């Protein structure tokens, strides 16, 4: 006996096949439409901090327009976001960028700035009052530059001066990046030392002197070694020594000796002792 076809199952299979074909068609059409759609605008976000202003949204847009002068209205498929990121990487103040198209049709650009932890300042002398110098923009020279936490050098900006530790003495850039960056990291990691140390002077022999924010003494650090040990001695001396006997007695504090701190009194203090 011949079986009758199950029209219910056949109808279900035909419907399923039709829906599958329609879905593929719509996907292809949507993808084609997306690729053919145009860039409606540029939206830039500076992601890392609100306190540093080395670069603005307008600066980033200008860099993008160097690559694509007529980007507004261009088809998205003709805009290479990877090439845009490479273009932005040429800006010395940009550490990282991400470019992609948002559902709105705008080109979304996320920027992370290169943030400094120290500044090599060639025109400042040791023991100078640098508060005003670092507060306001100054004419930059070849010896003025910033270094970030990764040890990367980048130029100063006529628009903005970061409040960071100043390095004087014109030390070699390699010494700054390899030897001073680890020292400054430790200083910045300690709340007390971060507020107390404002300047690092480097001699031609590459000996280090720290200049404090408070007090008229200098801190003889010596060679670029034993950072943690020397800073721990300094902090302990401040807390247990200067806070007790006063901050105006000594001309210099030497923390270069092992397991001890050697201080030199000011001339006026020596005269008082001899009277």
Is 8 inside any structural domain?
no
The answer to whether 126 and 211 are in contact (CB under 8 A) is: yes
Output 206 or 268, whichever has higher pLDDT. 206
37-51, 116-130, 160-174, 239-253 — which is least confidently predicted?
A: 116-130
Q: Are residues 123 and 104 in the same domain?
A: no
Residues in a beta bridge with 199: 166, 211
Q: Is the pLDDT of residue 270 over 60?
A: no
61-117 pLDDT per residue, tens: 999 998 899 999 999 999 999 999 999 999 999 999 999 999 989 999 999 999 999
DSSP 8-state assignment for residue 75: B
pTM of the model: 0.75
Tell me what percent of the residues of the chain surpass a pLDDT of 70.
Answer: 73
Same domain, 156 and 270: yes
Residue where a domain terminates, one of 61, 84, 113: 113
SS3 of residue 272 by DSSP: helix
Which of 18-32, 50-64, 163-177 is the least confident region?
A: 18-32
Closest CA to 140 of 116, 161, 115, 125: 161
Q: How far apart are CA 15 and CA 21, in angstroms?
A: 10
Same domain (yes/no): 109, 129: no
Give the mean pLDDT of 30-40: 65
For residue 191, the tally of other CB atoms under 10 A from its CB is 8
Please report whether residue 23 resides in a domain.
no
**What CA–CA distance (Å, rounded) separates 187 from 227?**
9
Per residue in 203-239, pLDDT tens? 999 999 999 988 788 999 999 999 999 999 999 888 8
* DSSP code at position 158: S
Name which residue leads in pLDDT, 239 or 10. 239
Q: What is the CATH number of the domain that holds 253?
A: 3.40.50.11690
Residue 193 DSSP code: H
Give 55's contacts (C-beta < 8 A, 6+ positions apart). Answer: 46, 91, 93, 94, 111, 113
For residue 124, give its domain range. 116-274
Whole-number Å distance between alpha carbons of 213 and 198 = 6
261 secondary structure, DSSP code: -
The reply to whether 131 and 196 lie within a common domain is yes
No. of H helices and E strands in the chain? 10, 12
Q: pLDDT tens-digit profile of 159-212?
A: 889 999 999 998 999 999 999 999 999 999 999 999 999 999 999 999 999 999
CA 222 – CA 232 distance, rounded (Å): 15
Residue 107 and residue 39: Cα distance in Å, rounded?
7
- Per-residue pLDDT at 186: 97
């Amino acid at each position: 006996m011949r079986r009758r076809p199950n029209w219910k199952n056949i109808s279900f299979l035909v419907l399923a096949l039709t829906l599958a074909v329609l879905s593929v068609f719509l996907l292809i059409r949507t993808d084609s439409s997306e690729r053919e759609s145009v860039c409606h605008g540029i939206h830039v976000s500076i992601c890392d901090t609100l306190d540093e202003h080395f670069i603005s949204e307008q600066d980033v847009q200008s860099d993008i327009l160097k690559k694509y002068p007529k980007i507004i209205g261009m088809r998205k498929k003709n805009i290479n976001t990877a090439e845009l990121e490479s273009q932005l990487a040429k800006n010395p103040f940009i550490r990282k960028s991400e470019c992609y198209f948002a559902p709105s049709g705008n080109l979304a650009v996320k920027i992370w700035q290169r943030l400094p932890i120290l500044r090599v300042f060639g025109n400042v002398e040791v023991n100078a009052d640098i508060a005003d110098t670092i507060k306001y923009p100054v004419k930059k020279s070849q010896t003025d530059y910033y270094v970030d936490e990764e040890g990367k050098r980048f130029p100063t900006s006529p628009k903005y001066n970061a409040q960071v530790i100043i390095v004087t003495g014109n030390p070699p850039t390699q010494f700054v990046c390899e030897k001073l960056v680890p020292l400054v990291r430790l200083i910045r990691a300690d709340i007390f030392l971060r507020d107390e140390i404002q300047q690092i002077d480097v001699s031609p022999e590459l000996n280090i002197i720290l200049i404090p924010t408070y007090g008229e003494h200098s801190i003889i650090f010596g060679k670029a070694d034993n950072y943690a040990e020397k800073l721990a001695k300094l902090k302990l001396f401040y807390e247990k020594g200067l806070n007790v006997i006063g901050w105006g007695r000594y001309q210099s504090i030497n923390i270069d000796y092992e397991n001890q701190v050697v201080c030199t009194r000011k001339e006026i203090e020596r005269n008082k002792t001899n009277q």
